[in-house]
Amino acid sequence: MGPGYNYFERGNLDIFSGRGECLYEPICAINLTSDGSGPHHGWYVNYVEVTSTGVHTSCSQQQFEIEQWLALDTSPYELTAIRNYCPSDFDDQRVGGRPDRKVIKLRTSTISSV
């Protein structure tokens, strides 16, 4: 994938990579959001697979089943899909309100880790 590649096209498997702060626990939740911009902004997502690795740390991989449209003109009429696979005894604030949380936002033109 690189310059000139058409992301978010029907039938494509799109791969993104980026760098961020070190994660000290396995990834167990995701907030996937489209900005809804552009013509034909609707985007059907089968799954998102996140791999986290770093120097002197073990690799962590999690697949999130989405199976949902991110669109305002197709059911469920949402631009966001949230999946939380964290254990029930995991501190819920890690997903909801802590400043050190990791949220992956996917837009129809860019991807960023916040």
Q: Which candidate, 52, 70, 48, places its Cα nearest to that of 60? A: 52
Q: What pTM value is reported for the model?
A: 0.71
Tell me the average pLDDT of the chain: 78
Kindly report, residue by residue over 33-68, the tens digit of the pLDDT: 998 887 778 889 999 999 888 887 788 899 999 999
In DSSP terms, 29 is beta-bridged to 84
CA neighbours closer than 13 Å in the CB half-sphere of residue 56: 0
Kindly report, residue by residue over 26-35, the tens digit of the pLDDT: 888 999 999 8
Going from N- to C-terminal start, the domains of the chain cover: 29-113
The segment with the largest mean pLDDT, out of 52-56, 72-76, 84-88, 106-110, is 72-76
- Which string of b and e fits 46-67 if b means at least 16 CB within 10 Å? eebebebeeeeeeeeebebebe
Cα dihedral 27→86→78→33 (10° resolution): -20
